[in-house]
Amino acid sequence: MNASEPHFARRAVLIGAAAALLAACGPAGKSEPVDAAAAPSPPVAPAAPVVTVLGDSITAGYGLAAADALPAQLEAALAGEGVNVQVRGAGVSGDTTAGGLARVDFSVQDDSAVCVVALGGNDMLQGVAPSQVRANLDAIVGKLQARGVGVVLAGMRAPPQYGGYAADFDKVFVEVAKTRKIALYPFLLDGVALDHRFNQDDGIHPNPQGVRLIAERLAPVVAEALRKARP
């Protein structure tokens, strides 16, 4: 071997390596593009629409396990109607329409498609003037509508022994629903109030069976509101 042979040997190795690299890259020395379709990402299921229930102790599930409270039972009842939703509770025990008005902007989040407003029972127990209850409810609904949130108003009724107050109070919910052109579920406790089979020992708050009955009757109204709500 003469002095130039090591030089030619190294050159041959380098040329061979370059040729192998070009062959791997394909024609003209360009790398082959990766076919994205060959390894597709798994489809992402669309998020279920959100229904928020703005209310008091009935919404909060007073005396009940979370699974027995209105938000969970309403979600189950809607699922039974073939409507896939997430029902979010925004209930505060003892809350009035004034309290609901004060917190509606942060209690009902922006991802809510529909809000069920279920307030008024504590106003009635405290003797709040029906005109003030009406003004509060109207303001709550107005705030929600301004944000594009659909609304279902769940009414309450005063006992007949409340006399003239009862008549004025009961009309509030009908008037707000008519003025604001929203869905009305006339009486949240329909079929449950004063029936010991569906109430806890205090005779006021529904037991799990009572809540289930409320949810089953309320679900079709909420389902219809969802169909009309924003996409």
The neighbour count for residue 215, using CB atoms within 10 Å, is 23
- Taken as a whole, the chain contains a residue count of 231
The answer to whether the CB of 129 falls within 8 A of the CB of 137 is no
**Counting Cβ atoms within 10 Å, is residue 227 exposed (0-12), middle (13-18) or buried (19+)?**
exposed
Residue with tokens 């790398």: 31
Q: Taking the CA of residue 6 as centre, how many other CA atoms within 13 Å lie in the half-sphere pointing to its CB? A: 1
The half-sphere exposure of 115 on its side-chain side, counting CA atoms within 13 A, is: 28
Catalytic residue among 35, 110, 201, 202: 202
Q: Where are the beta strands (DSSP E) in the chain?
A: 50-55, 86-91, 112-118, 150-154, 183-185
Concerning whether 107 is annotated as a catalytic residue, the answer is no
Whole-angstrom distance, CA of residue 231 vs CA of residue 228: 9
Respond yes or no: is residue 31 known to be catalytic.
Answer: no
In the set 57, 93, 138, 168, the catalytic residue is 57
User: Which residues make Cβ contacts (< 8 Å) with residue 101, sequence separation at least 6?
Assistant: 136, 139, 140, 143
112 is catalytic: no
Report the catalytic residues.
57, 202, 205
